[in-house]
Amino acid sequence: MSFRASVLTLYPDMFPGALGMSLAGRGLEAGAWSIETVQIRDFATDRHRTVDDTPAGGGAGMVLRADILASAIDHASPAGDQRPRLLMSPRGKPLTQARVRELAQGPGAVIVCGRFEGVDQRVIEARDLEEVSIGDYILSGGEPAALVLLDAIVRLLPGVMGNDESGTEESFENGLLEHPHYTRPQLFEDRPIPEVLTSGNHARIAQWRHQTALELTQMRRPDLLPAAPGKKEPGNR
């Protein structure tokens, strides 16, 4: 059974969006994954199809109602659904490649996209939503965040990426940022490709790549280093 995404949103036309193209789009057509959208507004109960209301305690903006969102979730993910229920949220745990890999190995995901000031806290608790953040900045809605999450998952699914190795040698996969890349021409504006990469010596190339990855990580993302395996033996000399 392939990965199944259900996205709860007020803007279903945003899906599959960018994920209908390129590798993800071909995977979608080939059945490597599937996506359904659920219009939260369909679960409104009044004539005006209202989904939000003013925040208790006052203040700016509007809040997505717990009862309406709960009905939408129960419709998309009835009892017995094994898929995790995620809420895109800047308050969530920052998304990591490790969590993406876990999700890609599972049956799919139910993804709730917030809007306005966010969603009523009680539905987060009552439906056991896992809050997921894609970074420390504020989007206007959860939809772009859901697209980011799904893009990261889908490229790991079997049959989506041609070259399987490029899935495991990326930045973060081994706890380091990736080494720099080069391709033809050999000389670009007086800048040659590093000699080692054209040497044909695979051991030296592997060592150079590890060393540059380590240096780049030390310089740009020292916070990643405690988790990197083998960081004490740069270059494996």
CB 81, min distance to ligand SAH, A: 21
Beta bridge partners of 86: 111, 130
Question: How many residues bind ligand SAH, per CB under 6 A?
Answer: 18
Binding residues for S-adenosyl-L-methionine: 114, 134-139
* Cα–Cα–Cα angle for 57, 59, 65, rounded to 5 degrees: 70
Please name which of 146, 182, 152 lies closest in space to residue 167, comparing C-alpha atoms.
Answer: 152
Residue nearest to ligand SAH (CB): 114
> How far does Cα 235 stand from its chain's mean position?
31
Phi-psi group of 4: left, alpha or beta (phi > 0 → left; psi -120 to 50 → alpha; rest → beta): beta
Among 20, 135, 158, 159, binds ligand SAH (CB under 6 A): 135
Residue 73, CB-side half-sphere exposure with 13 Å CA sphere: 26
**114 contacts ligand SAH (rule: CB under 6 A):** yes
Among 118, 120, 179, 212, binds ligand SAH (CB under 6 A): 118
State whether the Cα torsion 182-185-186-188 is positive or negative: negative
Among 25, 55, 141, 234, binds ligand SAH (CB under 6 A): 141
Among 53, 117, 130, 151, binds ligand SAH (CB under 6 A): 117
Interaction pattern, residues 32-71, with ligand SAH; x per rule: CB under 6 A: ----------------------------------------
Measure the CA–CA gap between 52 and 118, rounded to whole angstroms: 10
CB 236, min distance to ligand SAH, A: 38
Beta bridge partners of 85: 110
Pair of tokens at residue 111 = 């993804």
- Comparing CB distances to ligand SAH, the nearer of 139 and 216 is 139
- Comparing CB distances to ligand SAH, the nearer of 117 and 178 is 117
- Comparing CB distances to ligand SAH, the nearer of 50 and 168 is 50
Among 16, 27, 84, 142, binds ligand SAH (CB under 6 A): 142
Beta bridge partners of 38: 8
